[in-house]
């Protein structure tokens, strides 16, 4: 498609957008600076609130008042099974079989639970590979897992860094590094999308390369769930975890997801932290000694479902299931490409681009985020656009992250954002 830098063109794209109506499903906050509805581009940090959350929440509050403990089985959405309302939809969202997914805990907690099972270092095979610029929580998690097993993180944690003068990792370099560390590699644990650069990784190729050298392969899908088309089962990924408050719009600190490939289901000797909610459901309340695991990922559950922490996810996942990731991704590609086109069109008097986008131009290597390098401008540029009513995200040392989110952002939003950028 040939794009145009005009309001009329942006509005034409909106009028052709089959998902445009979903914008109305969300509350848009006002900018604290203009007092008017913000141009919201931070769905990669905290997604907007679906309006239907209130209604879903009232159901659980009313049923708690009405039933007390009996609500576990007699509420309209019986709490005993609450996590199961997600199973089918979460499986579709990440490309898994239903038994391979479970919603529980928070992201970093799930990452640790997965590493208890899938980081099983030996004297010879003890390394964990992560991105050099991984989200801090992931860095702390892997380093502490290495220490837990008596290894020095300096030696055990291998970081992937871009080549000199480049911002993102070359796909072939990732695969080469995996091969290089070979039989010393116990686990490859990367983000599906790097939170800083917005680079999406080829999870299929990375999983294959990891398995070739005998390592487990897991992904942190914090920035990939609800953003990319995922096929975790077919790709053969060993485990994955994701939060639901970013692209999945399920509210601050909301429940997270975990995927465990079916090949690890039902293994008796797998190391795992266990609790009563992972125990075979039929006999759970017999309260007997000796752990009998649930089939699949639910065996990793520890505690009973935190229902109020899950309500917003129920509301949001219903929306995602209605829209479907295929349609969402199609709009996302177009929306991000339009933003990229407009930003790249901003040139100075010498014809040089005023802003450098460090997110890959290749659509297969990105989702709904562009990271704009702000070298010479520093944080001044960010403060300027914030005062003009944009909610975006500043990351040290020098990147502005913007996420045109296909579920609720419009082409007009994107156009207006770039107009403000241009006015700097």
Binding site for ligand PLP (CB under 6 A): 106-108, 135, 137-138, 191, 195, 220, 222-223, 243
**Closest among 23, 11, 3, 15 to 404, alpha carbons compared:** 23
Pairing of strands 399-402, 370-373: antiparallel
CB atoms within 10 A of CB 319: 18
Q: Whose Cβ is closer to ligand PLP: residue 134's or residue 407's?
A: 134
Q: Whose Cβ is closer to ligand PLP: residue 48's or residue 99's?
A: 48
Q: Whose Cβ is closer to ligand PLP: residue 142's or residue 186's?
A: 142
* Minimum gap (Å) between residue 101 Cβ and ligand PLP: 17
Q: Whose Cβ is closer to ligand PLP: residue 75's or residue 193's?
A: 193
- DSSP letter string, 378-399: THHHHHHHHHTTEE-EEETTTE
Tokens of 184: 């010393």
Measured between alpha carbons, how far is residue 319 from residues 4, 213, 264 in Å?
31, 40, 31
* Minimum gap (Å) between residue 195 Cβ and ligand PLP: 4
* Minimum gap (Å) between residue 71 Cβ and ligand PLP: 28
* Minimum gap (Å) between residue 110 Cβ and ligand PLP: 8
Q: Whose Cβ is closer to ligand PLP: residue 244's or residue 386's?
A: 244
Furthest C-alpha separation in the chain: 77
Q: Whose Cβ is closer to ligand PLP: residue 222's or residue 294's?
A: 222
Q: Whose Cβ is closer to ligand PLP: residue 112's or residue 314's?
A: 112
**What's the full length of the chain, in residues?**
424
* Minimum gap (Å) between residue 106 Cβ and ligand PLP: 4
The residues that bridge with 259 in the sheet, in sequence order, are: 101, 240
* Minimum gap (Å) between residue 258 Cβ and ligand PLP: 12
* Minimum gap (Å) between residue 221 Cβ and ligand PLP: 8
Q: Whose Cβ is closer to ligand PLP: residue 138's or residue 393's?
A: 138
* Minimum gap (Å) between residue 170 Cβ and ligand PLP: 21
3-state secondary structure of 204: helix
List all residues 6 or more positions away from 252 whose beta carbon is below 8 Å from its beta carbon.
Answer: 46, 245
CA triplet 253, 258, 264: central angle to 5 degrees?
160
Cis peptide, bond prior to residue 397, ω within 30 of zero: yes
**Closest among 175, 233, 189, 186 to 214, alpha carbons compared:** 186
Q: Whose Cβ is closer to ligand PLP: residue 110's or residue 410's?
A: 110
Measured between alpha carbons, how far is residue 376 from residues 222, 342, 347 in Å?
30, 20, 15
Contact by Cβ (8 Å): 401, 395 = yes
Contact by Cβ (8 Å): 25, 319 = yes
Residue spans of beta strands (DSSP E) within 195-329: 216-220, 239-242, 256-260
Contact by Cβ (8 Å): 219, 192 = yes
* Minimum gap (Å) between residue 116 Cβ and ligand PLP: 16
């Amino acid at each position: 498609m040939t794009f145009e830098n005009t309001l009329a063109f942006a509005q034409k794209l909106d009028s052709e957008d089959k998902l445009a109506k979903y914008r109305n499903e969300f509350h848009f906050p006002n900018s604290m600076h203009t007092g008017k509805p913000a141009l919201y581009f931070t769905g990669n940090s905290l997604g907007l609130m679906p309006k239907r959350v209130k209604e879903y929440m009232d159901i659980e509050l009313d049923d708690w008042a009405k039933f007390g403990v009996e609500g576990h089985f007699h509420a309209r959405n019986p709490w005993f099974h609450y996590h199961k309302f997600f199973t089918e939809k979460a499986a579709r969202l990440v490309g898994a079989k239903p038994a391979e997914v479970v919603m529980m805990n928070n992201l970093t907690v799930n990452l640790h639970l997965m590493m208890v099972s899938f980081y099983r270092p030996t004297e010879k095979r003890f390394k964990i590979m992560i991105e050099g610029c991984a989200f801090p929580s992931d860095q702390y998690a892997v380093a502490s897992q290495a220490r837990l097993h008596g290894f020095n993180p300096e030696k055990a944690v291998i970081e992937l860094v871009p080549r000199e003068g480049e911002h993102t990792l070359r796909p072939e370099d990732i695969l080469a590094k995996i091969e290089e560390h070979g039989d010393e590699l116990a686990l490859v644990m990367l983000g599906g999308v790097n939170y800083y650069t917005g680079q999406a990784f080829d999870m299929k190729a990375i999983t294959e390369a990891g398995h070739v050298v005998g390592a487990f392969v897991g992904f942190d899908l914090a920035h990939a769930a609800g953003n990319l088309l995922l096929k975790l089962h077919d790709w053969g990924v060993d485990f994955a975890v994701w939060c639901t408050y970013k692209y999945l719009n399920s509210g601050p600190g909301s429940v997270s997801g975990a995927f465990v490939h079916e090949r690890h289901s039902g293994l008796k000797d797998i190391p795992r932290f266990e609790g009563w909610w992972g125990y075979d459901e039929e006999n759970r309340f017999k309260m007997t000694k000796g752990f009998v695991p649930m089939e699949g990922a639910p065996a990793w559950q520890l505690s009973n479902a935190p229902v109020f922490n899950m309500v917003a996810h129920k509301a949001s996942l219903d929306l995602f299931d209605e829209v479907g990731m295929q349609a969402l991704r199609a709009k996302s590609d177009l929306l991000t490409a339009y933003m990229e086109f407009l930003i790249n069109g901003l040139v100075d008097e010498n014809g040089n681009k005023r802003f450098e986008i460090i997110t890959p131009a290749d659509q297969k290597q990105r989702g709904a985020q562009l990271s704009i390098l702000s070298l010479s401008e520093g944080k001044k540029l960010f403060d300027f656009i914030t005062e003009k009513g944009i909610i975006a995200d500043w990351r040290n040392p020098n990147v502005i992250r913007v996420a045109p989110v296909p579920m609720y952002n419009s082409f007009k939003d994107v156009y207006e954002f770039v107009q403000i950028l241009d006015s700097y």
